[in-house]
Amino acid sequence: MKPLFEKCGRYTTANDARAAGLYPYFHELQSRQDAEVVMEGKRRIMLGSNNYLGLTVNGDVIKAGVDALERLGTGCSGSRFLNGTLSLHVKLEKELAEFVGKEEAVAFSTGFQSNLGIISGICGKNDFIFCDRENHASIYDGCRLSGAEIKVYRHSNMDLLEKKLASVDIDAGKLIVTDGVFSMGGDICRLPDIVELAKKYKAAVMVDDAHGLGVIGRGGRGTADHFGLTDEVDIIMSTFSKSLASLGGFMAADSFVCDFIRHNSRPFIFSASIPPASCATALEALRVIRENPSLVTHLADLSVYMKRELKSRGVRLIESPTPIIPLYTTDMTTTLRIAKTLYERGVYVNPVLPPATSPNECLLRVSLMASLTKELIDEAVGIIAKTMKEEGLTDE
């Protein structure tokens, strides 16, 4: 074995889980991403998708993608910087900026690439980045790529954030970056406190709203709007792969910041642009959200309903104000076993394991879609409660 691949040979974690019959990943989906799916030949209730508003199966969104594919072809074969900018990209950016309340927007080819491109484009070796410990992996990678000094603070710990801010020269370049809605716990960042500290210490604020757009705020406008702080947040980032039912990502900010990114962000400049069909579906999904704010309200109502039903059955959950519902499962083996049992009984959820959690704080992550019905939720709650009770993880 060549030295480079020795670490690959030593890696046995996945095979150990396979051998134990507990491997939870790469289940094959054989239907559309919807409230009910077919996975590996069997019907499952989908409680593990980020398709929050259910728009992946919306007829208008699908038609927009098909029309763009037929009219504009399969791809752009180049970067936005050169031959890859369609009028469709420009329309999408304009409507995204208007929706979230910023001057301009810049679309990236993926959500992960968005964070890489924004953070590494804005920050450099003489700057400082203040990062919540539970931020998404793409934020961490963007911070590393930037060359700036990274200062991580404990999750939502504003006292520690202030201490770290105070330790840096007041006139140094500083960025506070945080998830808006944290993807594992479903909690919302303490944005009012972050904005106050940013003003005090002359820092810029960036919010990753991948799980906030379409979920909170007026008509789904996200975390900054939820707190009435859109004007105080310098950069809003989100993805197309969740509420917007497509693939890609964007940043929204003041015009001069967006223009700087377009000409200085390597992940933006040197990547092929979003294919026409993906761009068109994101644009149509945005229009559906804008015209149907009741979708966001309905999702919130379903979330309240399911949490109440789970608690009434004694299921232990972490309280959150969003459609992300974390269920206590403690250790990794128990978590994998419960996830497997639920899957076999027709409910798909996501196991959350180290390094995303500490070894004894593993979770099952339930995420809801507006396309779910109360009947499906009731069916899923019954299966979850039965399984958790069998494992001794209910209060009944």
Tell me the domain boundaries of the chain: 3-57+293-390, 59-291
H or E element at residue 7: helix 6-10
333-356 pLDDT, tens per residue? 999 999 999 999 999 999 999 888
Tell me, which fold does domain 59-291 have in CATH?
Aspartate Aminotransferase; domain 2 (3.40.640)
Strands 350-352 and 362-367: antiparallel
C-alpha dist (Å) from residue 190 to 125, 157, 207: 27, 9, 11
Question: How is residue 118 written in tokens?
Answer: 């924004």
Average pLDDT estimate for 105-128: 97
Q: Rounded to two decimals, what is the model's pTM?
A: 0.96
Has 199 been annotated as catalytic?
Answer: no
Has 263 been annotated as catalytic?
Answer: no
Average pLDDT estimate for 263-276: 97
pLDDT at 354: 86
Backbone angles phi and psi of 357, in degrees to 5: -135, 170
Burial of 34 (0-12, 13-18, 19+ CB in 10 A): middle
**Strand boundaries in 209-253, DSSP class E:** 235-239, 249-253
Quote the DSSP letter at residue 392. T
3-state secondary structure of 389: helix
Beta-bridged to residue 128, according to DSSP, are 149, 174
Adjacency order of strands within the sheet including 36-39 = 36-39, 42-46, 347-348
Residues above pLDDT 90, as percent of the chain = 96
Q: Which amino acid is at 377?
A: I
Burial 286-306 (b: 16+ CB within 10 A, else e): bebbeebeebbebbbebbebb
Rounded distance between C-alpha atoms, residue 251 and residue 241, angstroms: 14
Look at residue 8 and tell me whether its pLDDT is greater than 80: yes
Look at residue 246 and tell me whether its pLDDT is greater than 90: yes
pLDDT at 355: 83
Contact 207, 223 (CB under 8 A): yes
Contact 269, 79 (CB under 8 A): yes
Non-local CB neighbours of 6 within 8 Å, separated by 6+ positions: none
Has 183 been annotated as catalytic?
Answer: yes
Backbone angles phi and psi of 315, in degrees to 5: -75, 130
pLDDT at 380: 98
Question: How is residue 301 written in tokens?
Answer: 């109502």
Determine which one of 109, 114, 146, 183 is catalytic.
Answer: 183
Q: What is the CATH number of domain 3-57+293-390?
A: 3.90.1150.10
29-52 pLDDT, tens per residue? 999 999 999 999 999 999 999 999
Closest-CA residue to 185 (of 349, 316, 363, 326): 326
For tokens 């394991």, name the residue: 353
3-state secondary structure of 48: strand
**Strand boundaries in the chain, DSSP class E:** 36-39, 42-46, 104-108, 128-132, 149-153, 174-179, 204-208, 235-239, 249-253, 324-330, 347-348, 350-352, 362-367
Average pLDDT estimate for 150-169: 98
Burial of 122 (0-12, 13-18, 19+ CB in 10 A): buried
Determine which one of 211, 226, 271, 371 is catalytic.
Answer: 211
Beta-bridged to residue 366, according to DSSP, are 325
Determine which one of 156, 242, 243, 303 is catalytic.
Answer: 242
